[in-house]
Amino acid sequence: MPKTIVQEFTKGLWEELPPFRLVLGLCPVLGVTTTMENGLGMGIATTFVLFGSNFLVSLLRSIIPQKVRIACFIIIIASFVTIVELLMQAYAYPLYLKLGVFIPLIVVNCIVLGRAEAFAYKNKVSYSIADGLGIGIGFTLSLGALGAVRELLGNGSVTVWGDLSYNLSAAFPSYQPFSFMVQAPGAFICLGLMLCIINAVGD
C-alpha cells in the first residue's frame, strides 16, 4: 500500500526516528549534545540540508545519470552544507563556534546521503520533501532530548531558550552536578541507555 505524504512525514518521528531507529549519523549526535541548545542548533542545520538535498535530488532525478548519481548527490549536499556554514557564521556566530568542525561534517552524515539515495532519487518531489522534513525534525528532537538530559545531569541546569532555564540544583539542593555526563564518555553511555529505553518502549 503506498504511503500518504503525511505518513512519509510522520515516519521520521518514530518508526524511522534517527539516530535511535536508524543507527546512522552518530558523530554529531555524540559530539555536539553537551547542551540542549547546541543539539537543537545542529539538528536545525541538518534539517535544512536534508530538506534542500531531498528536494533538489528528487527534482533532478530524471536528469541525473545512474552511474554518477553519488557524485551528483555529494555536490548538491556539499553546496547546501556550505550555505548553512556561511549563514550560520553570519547570523548565529556563537553557535557556529560551539559546533565547530561538525558543521562541515554534515556533508558526510550518513543520514543525508542515505535519504538522497534511498528515498529522494526514487520518489516524487512532494514526498521527498515530507520525508526530508520528517527525518530532519526527528533528528532535531533526538539531539535536543539527548542534549537536555546531558546538560541537566552534567551542569545541574538546562537553558531552554535565552534566559528561560530550569535549574535542577535549585529544585533539589542536594543534587551535585555530574560533570561526567557532559564529557566524552558520558556521551556514549547516555546515548546507549537512551537507546535501551527506546527499545524497551518500542517493544
Partner 1 sequence: MGYFELIIACIFVNNILLAQFLGNCPFLGTSKKMETAVGMSMAVVFVTVMAGTLTWVIYTYILVNFDLVYLRTIAFIVVIASLVQFVEMFLKKSIPALYAGLGIFLPLITTNCAVMGVCVLNIDKEFTFLQALVASLFYAVGFGLALILFAGLRERTLLARVPKPLQDTSIALVTAGMISLAFFAFQGMV
Partner 2 sequence: MNDMVKMVVVLTVLSSVAGGVLAAVNKGTASQIEAQQLTFVKGPAIKAILAGSSNNPIEDRFKIVDGDAEKSFFVGNFDGKANTIAFEGFGKGFAGDIGVMVGINMDEDKLVGAAVTVHSETPGLGAKAKDDPGLVSQFKGLSVKDSVSVTKDGGQINAISGATITSRAVCDAVDNAMKSYQKMKPQLQQEIQKFGK
Residues in contact with partner 2 by CB under 8 A are 63-65, 67-68, 71-72, 75-76, 78-79, 82-83, 86-87, 89-91, 93-94, 97
Q: Which does 170 bind (CB under 5 to 8 A by kind): partner 2, partner 1, none?
A: none
CA 146/CA 195 separation, integer angstroms: 10
Q: Which does 65 bind (CB under 5 to 8 A by kind): partner 1, partner 2, none?
A: partner 2
Q: Please identify which residue in 44, 45, 72, 107 interacts with partner 1, judged by CB under 8 A.
A: 107
If you write DSSP's letter for every residue of the chain in order, what string do you get? -PPPHHHHHHHTTTTT-TTTTS---HHHHHHSTTSHHHHHHHHHHHHHHHHHHHHHHHHTTTTS-GGGHHHHHHHHHHHHHHHHHHHHHHH-HHHHHHHGGGTGGGGG-HHHHHHIIIIITTS-HHHHHHHHHHHHHHHHHHHHHHHHHHHHHHHSEEEEETTEEEEHHHHSTTPPP-GGGGSHHHHHHHHHHHHHHHHHHH-
Q: Which does 4 bind (CB under 5 to 8 A by kind): partner 1, partner 2, none?
A: none
Min dist CB 77 to partner 1, Å, is 8
Q: Which does 137 bind (CB under 5 to 8 A by kind): partner 1, partner 2, none?
A: none
Q: Please identify which residue in 5, 60, 110, 145 interacts with partner 1, judged by CB under 8 A.
A: 110
Which positions from 74 to 93 touch partner 1 by CB under 8 A, shown as an x/- string?
Answer: xx--xx-xx--xx-------
Q: Is 191 in the site for partner 1 (CB under 8 A)?
A: yes
Residue closer to partner 1 by CB (options 166, 180) is 180
CA 202/CA 15 separation, integer angstroms: 9
Which cell numbers in the block locate residue 30? 555524540
CA 22/CA 5 separation, integer angstroms: 20
Which positions from 37 to 76 touch partner 1 by CB under 8 A, shown as an x/- string?
Answer: ---------------------------------xx--xx-
- The contact set with partner 1 (CB under 8 A) reads 23-28, 30-31, 70-71, 74-75, 78-79, 81-82, 85-86, 100-101, 104-105, 107-110, 113, 183-189, 191-193, 195-197, 199-200, 203
